[in-house]
Amino acid sequence: MQLKPLLTRLHPLHRTLASVEMDEALRIVGEAMPAAANYAIESFVPNTPVWTWRVPERYAVHEAYLAFEDGRRIVDFADNPLHIVSYSPPVDATLSWNELAPHLHYNEARPWATPWVFKYYQREWGFCLPKDIFDALPRDSRYRAVIRSEFLSDPTAGGFRVSVGVLQPEGGSTPGAPSAGEMLIASHLCHPMQANDDTAGVVTAIEIAQRLAEKPLPTGSMDVRFWFGPETIGSIVYLAHHEELIPRLKGGIFIEMTGNDSPIAWHHSRQHNHLLDRITAYVLRDSEYVERNFADFPPNDERVINGPGVNVPCISINRWPYDEYHTTDDNPDIIEEDMLQGAADIVEEIVRIYASNYIPKRTFRGPVFLSGNGLWVDWQENFALNRAVEKIMMRFEGQHSIFDIAEEVGLEYWIVREYVEKFRAKGFVEAHFIPGEAPEF
């Protein structure tokens, strides 16, 4: 599907930790997700303890502006939600320049742009404006600072929300039967009026969900869980409320900033050389890319998913850096459809390989009678596979996944998988699941 129109709908909303327009954004994401994902929004009670954190309150802004004493407005929240520091407490004061100045924020490098500043936990009010406007404000004037904001902790006000949709492989899953587990795809929906960070990651994730609905993963693959919400605290709140899910999670991908015209950057998992890292390197082998360590800048929800006591191997995919980061210049003008789709292509392939990979375990003794079982590979049809057959058959001892075998024999994953599936169809190998790294609860 075309992703930029969807991004352009989400972009202008006042999307923050929890707010009316964040609810609206979660609803729009639900409209765009495939029906098969059974997309659902979950709400949590503010101030509930979650691990070492607490569930944030909702934030409502009824009116906010900075004005001259005569009432002429300098910046207004109604024009752009970036004009106030996110989660500013209320203020209604007339101030001298010296009193006001510590509450003003601008971006030195982009003097025409308004920066995005958040103080979710410090609770200090502030206004954000272009440096050009800041410089022009008379130092001998008095100013009116008005923010009519409210923090809502009453659960009837709507609570703190995240959403998930889960896509199952071909044939679904049998309730109660052993499962291959799940992959978790996360992207953050917060950041008011920011396009690339991370509305871009959100629409890229939706595209991957659409593709997995259209062409499901092979039977027996992992489920793929798509998660949307506010960054860091959102995944903490969700996982702290669903600890039973953690041992099921076999791998994660955090996606952000996928729309600008830069090469893909990938951040290793905390394990660094996990199967997921090796599959990512394999998928990117013919692309131009940047490689970074786990939690290198910009770090995000992978620190939660792959963090202490959770430890689900999680890579991060983005196209950072870009100059417009955290300013009003991060808008749909810098977003390219090809970049969004290109990121979806890469993540989709990582998911398809990681989630469909398994450990083939031998049930036979002696070399398999290939031609007698329809397993012979004609060298004229596939010379490389013909040469690799013996090596593949020697690696069915339960030590190697299909991806490991493909890597060792130097063949494409899908060619080896298709061939191993023929052994499985004959009952010569059993499929064992890829083990998780997360602790049991």
Enumerate binding residues for Zn ion (CB under 5 A): 197
User: What residue spans of 232-380 are helical by DSSP H?
Assistant: 233-241, 275-283, 302-305, 337-356
* Structure-token match 């203020």, residue found: 91
**190 Cβ neighbours under 8 A, 6+ residues apart:** 15, 16, 17, 22, 198, 229, 230, 231, 234
8-state DSSP, 248: G
> Looking at beta carbons only, is 329 or 437 nearer to Zn ion?
329
> Looking at beta carbons only, is 13 or 406 nearer to Zn ion?
13
CA atoms of 392 and 422, how far apart (whole Å): 13
CB-based closest residue to Zn ion: 197
> Looking at beta carbons only, is 17 or 37 nearer to Zn ion?
17
Which H or E run includes 94?
A: strand 91-96
- Smallest gap from residue 330 Cβ to Zn ion (A): 9
- Smallest gap from residue 11 Cβ to Zn ion (A): 14
- Upstream peptide bond of 102 is cis (omega within 30 degrees of 0): no
- Smallest gap from residue 326 Cβ to Zn ion (A): 6
If 0-12 CB within 10 Å is exposed, 13-18 middle and 19+ buried, where does residue 156 land? exposed
CB 89 within 8 A of CB 147: yes
- Smallest gap from residue 80 Cβ to Zn ion (A): 17
Report CA 116 to chain centroid distance, whole Å. Answer: 20
> Looking at beta carbons only, is 189 or 438 nearer to Zn ion?
189
51: phi > 0 → left, psi -120 to 50 → alpha, else beta; which? left
> Is residue 405 classed as helix, strand or coil in its secondary structure?
helix
Q: Report the relative pairing of strands 314-318 and 249-255 from DSSP bridges.
A: parallel
> Looking at beta carbons only, is 88 or 401 nearer to Zn ion?
88
> Looking at beta carbons only, is 182 or 198 nearer to Zn ion?
198
- Smallest gap from residue 226 Cβ to Zn ion (A): 20
> Looking at beta carbons only, is 161 or 188 nearer to Zn ion?
188
- Smallest gap from residue 34 Cβ to Zn ion (A): 27
- Smallest gap from residue 440 Cβ to Zn ion (A): 34
CB 211 within 8 A of CB 344: yes
> Is residue 65 classed as helix, strand or coil in its secondary structure?
strand
> Looking at beta carbons only, is 168 or 318 nearer to Zn ion?
318
CB 325 within 8 A of CB 191: no
> Looking at beta carbons only, is 74 or 339 nearer to Zn ion?
339
CA atoms of 322 and 297, how far apart (whole Å): 12
CA atoms of 8 and 46, how far apart (whole Å): 30
